[in-house]
Amino acid sequence: MSESILDGKKILAVDDEPDVLSVLEEEIMDACPNCTLDKATTYENAVKFLESNPYDVVILDIMGVRGFDLLELAVKKDLKVAMLTAHALSPEALKKSIEMKARAYLPKEKLGEVVPFLEDMLKYDYESGWKRLMDKLYGFFTDKFESDWEKKTGGPWKEWVGK
């Protein structure tokens, strides 16, 4: 296995579901055993981590831990953030994530693929990172969202696919 760009990085994962944090830990630590992973299950604990530690990557659940509030705090600290969701899997939450400067929006159904998405967050700038994410998830979003999801979000999704 080739070395991950995540190796040696400091990562914060926030989710109110301990089993999701366990899967994230397993996926991330398998790919980059020399990274540091902090985990929080509440908004309050996540704020403490964000206020007292520098992070290379932050993974935030949208529901249950006030993910958008945490996103605002993390972006103010110039951190690269991936939003993670199951219950808030919607065009509106995708649009809000992008508008609030998240670097990725990942369905929990794709937890097994989290490492390549996080690696892309570190390798690519904001727009090219979103283009890569859409290239990978456009079909998934089209299957999961209502038929007019692209119009609702106002994003250039089709233009970004395959670029």
CB 129 within 8 A of CB 107: no
Does 163 have pLDDT greater than 50? no
- In the structure, what pLDDT confidence band is assigned to residue 162 with cuts at 50, 70 and 90? low
**pTM metric for this prediction:** 0.90
Instruction: Give the pLDDT of residue 152.
Output: 73
Cβ-count burial 130-145 (b if 16+ within 10 Å, e if not): bbbbbebbbeebeeeb
Q: pLDDT tens-digit profile of 26-77?
A: 999 999 999 999 999 999 999 999 999 999 999 999 988 999 999 999 999 9
- In the structure, what pLDDT confidence band is assigned to residue 104 with cuts at 50, 70 and 90? very high
Q: pLDDT tens-digit profile of 80-96?
A: 999 998 877 888 888 89
| Better pLDDT: 37 or 140 | 37
CA dist., res. 58 & res. 23, Å (int): 15
Instruction: Give the pLDDT of residue 136.
Output: 87
CA dist., res. 101 & res. 76, Å (int): 10
Domains and CATH numbers, the chain: 10-160 (3.40.50.2300)
DSSP 43-70: HHHHHHHHHH---SEEEEESTTTTHHHH
